[in-house]
């Protein structure tokens, strides 16, 4: 696609040397990849929520303002026990085996049924974190109408209310402060990382049965210590989950219920430059998760491993994986070998669809067939678009073998794109 006139001059000034690509696919972000020869086990007290924990009561640590001033307690969390979620207006229970507690258990012939959803579904409570497919809001903070670098239409709170449980973004260090910028802070800067995470914190305090995953991009490859201050000042630190092992294998992850019961519900990863010796809770993304090709421009959406490169089959099988399903469009700036990538809005509804060529549903099925398990993360632009709006959540529900509840999304979709009527779509 070719653009001329004032728009070309604006884009050339805004993104020259930044978004510009010359030939072939988009430049793939890269950095130092960490390779572990052995698995390290951290101290037992890093969390009270890993599968071998014996007993935890966390009611006093829950925030005020939760439904009914909810408290939560766990009767016992060993592998042969029953976990009880207690709070709000009712008591809920998960079946993991034979119930045990400090008192002599009373055998029961009646089935115990959990009615408290975890991340939106009752079925997720006793599932391992690594056995759930999540929709990822690609570049979650970048919501600015009229800006070519935006990737979402709805604000963070709408995203979370609609069912997004994994957010992803890019950070840039400017004068000692981490900002959320898309490739270049002159192109799109939505403010400090700390402010954005404070909004996540406020939402999580009001929603105590939700586990949120945060994929952070370290664009400038700065020291990971730069991230600890914003996270601490945001108020999230007491909710941060710390892995009991480094790295975490596919079968090492706890259940959502155990994370919720311990009130350690915020999972942080950094793509490059982590140091889990100094900050064990700031997880190295690519030691836990591999990804399919970055910024695809063709509807084929191959489910091959791109990052980290050269991953052995055994490690592919032992890590979670993310399917990148954000279709991009090449825009010719009218300069020599100068192009940028923007979300392909013309195909967006089909891209986020449940079925059909190039759809999210089709890619998810192809990945499942190829790797013998569904993707853990489905990364999308403008998650609220689809057939119908919010169809990305229906795809995730199918991968999770649960029934999609519908009723998405937070606001009516604004179909006018950042390039004006050239790519506009009307529902």
Q: Can you give the residue range of the structural domain that contains 189?
A: 6-30+125-423
Side-chain half-sphere of 192: how many Cα atoms within 13 Å?
13
Whether residue 216 lies inside any domain: the answer is yes
Whether residue 130 lies inside any domain: the answer is yes
| Residue 204 pLDDT | 99
List phi, psi (to 5°) of 74.
-115, 130
How many other C-beta atoms can be found within 10 angstroms of the C-beta atom of residue 385?
Answer: 27
| Residue 149 pLDDT | 86
Query: Under 8 Å CB-to-CB from 330, ≥6 apart: which residues?
Result: 1, 21, 297, 339, 340, 341
Whether residue 73 lies inside any domain: the answer is no
Per-residue pLDDT tens listing for the chain (427 residues):
444 443 433 343 333 333 434 333 456 776 777 777 666 677 655 664 433 333 232 332 333 333 333 334 333 333 333 344 543 333 333 333 333 334 444 555 566 677 899 999 999 999 999 999 999 999 999 999 988 889 999 999 999 999 999 999 999 999 999 999 998 899 899 999 999 999 999 999 999 999 999 999 999 999 999 999 999 999 999 999 999 999 999 999 999 999 999 999 999 999 999 999 999 999 999 999 999 999 999 999 999 999 999 999 999 999 999 999 999 998 776 665 667 788 999 999 999 999 999 999 999 999 999 999 999 999 999 999 998 999 999 999 999 999 998 889 986 444 333 433 223 333 3
Count the domains in the chain. Answer: 1
Whether residue 118 lies inside any domain: the answer is no
| Residue 327 pLDDT | 97
Contact 49, 261 (CB under 8 A): yes
Whether residue 65 lies inside any domain: the answer is no
138 classed as catalytic: yes
Whether residue 94 lies inside any domain: the answer is no
Q: Is the pTM of this model over 0.95?
A: no
Contact 125, 119 (CB under 8 A): no
Burial of 98 (0-12, 13-18, 19+ CB in 10 A): exposed
182 classed as catalytic: yes
Longest dimension (CA), the chain: 79
Give dist(CA 165, CA 151) in Å, integer. Answer: 17
Burial of 50 (0-12, 13-18, 19+ CB in 10 A): buried
| Residue 63 pLDDT | 34
Name the active-site residue from 50, 89, 90, 138. Answer: 138
Name the active-site residue from 182, 298, 325, 418. Answer: 182
Give dist(CA 192, CA 171) in Å, integer. Answer: 9
| Residue 78 pLDDT | 37
Query: Under 8 Å CB-to-CB from 277, ≥6 apart: which residues?
Result: none
Whether residue 41 lies inside any domain: the answer is no
| Residue 384 pLDDT | 97
| Residue 332 pLDDT | 74
Whether cis (ω within 30° of 0) applies to the bond prior to 153 is: no
Whether residue 104 lies inside any domain: the answer is no
What CATH number did the domain enclosing 152 receive?
Answer: 3.20.20.190
């Amino acid at each position: 696609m070719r653009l001329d006139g004032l728009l070309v001059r604006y884009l050339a000034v805004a993104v020259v040397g930044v978004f510009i690509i010359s030939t072939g696919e988009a430049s793939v972000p890269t950095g130092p990849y960490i390779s572990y020869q052995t698995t390290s086990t951290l101290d037992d007290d890093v969390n009270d929520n890993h599968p071998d924990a014996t007993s935890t009561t966390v009611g006093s640590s829950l925030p005020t303002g939760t439904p009914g001033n909810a408290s939560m307690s766990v009767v016992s969390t060993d592998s042969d026990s029953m976990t009880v979620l207690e709070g709000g207006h009712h008591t809920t229970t998960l079946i993991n085996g034979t119930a045990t507690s400090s008192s002599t258990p009373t055998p029961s012939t009646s089935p115990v049924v959990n009615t408290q959803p975890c991340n939106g579904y009752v079925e997720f409570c006793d599932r391992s974190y690594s056995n759930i497919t999540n929709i990822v809001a690609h570049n979650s903070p970048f919501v600015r109408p009229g800006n070519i670098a935006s990737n979402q239409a709805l604000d963070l709170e709408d995203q979370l209310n609609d069912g997004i449980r994994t957010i992803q973004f890019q950070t840039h260090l400017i004068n000692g402060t981490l900002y959320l910028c898309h490739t270049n802070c002159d192109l799109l800067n939505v403010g400090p990382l700390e402010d954005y995470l404070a909004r996540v914190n406020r939402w999580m305090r009001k929603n105590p049965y939700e586990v949120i995953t945060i994929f952070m991009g370290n664009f400038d490859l700065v020291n990971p210590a730069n991230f600890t201050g914003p996270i601490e000042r945001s108020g999230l630190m007491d909710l941060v989950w710390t892995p009991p092992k480094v790295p975490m294998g596919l079968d090492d992850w706890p259940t959502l219920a155990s994370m919720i019961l311990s009130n350690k519900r915020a999972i942080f990863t950094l793509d490059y430059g982590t140091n889990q010796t100094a900050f064990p809770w700031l997880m190295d993304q690519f030691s836990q998760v591999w990804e399919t090709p970055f910024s695809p421009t063709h509807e084929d959406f191959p489910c091959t491993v791109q990052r980290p490169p050269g991953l052995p089959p055994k490690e592919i099988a032992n890590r979670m994986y993310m399917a990148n399903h954000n279709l991009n469009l090449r825009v010719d700036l009218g300069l020599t070998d100068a192009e940028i990538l923007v979300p392909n809005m013309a195909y967006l509804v089909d891209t986020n669809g449940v079925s059909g060529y190039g759809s999210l549903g089709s890619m998810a099925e192809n990945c499942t067939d190829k790797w013998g398990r569904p993707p853990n993360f489905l990364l999308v632009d403008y998650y609220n678009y689809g057939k119908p709006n919010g169809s990305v959540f229906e795809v995730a529900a199918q991968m999770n073998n649960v029934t999609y509840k519908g009723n998405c999304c937070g606001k009516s979709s604004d179909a006018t794109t950042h390039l004006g009527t050239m790519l506009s779509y009307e529902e």
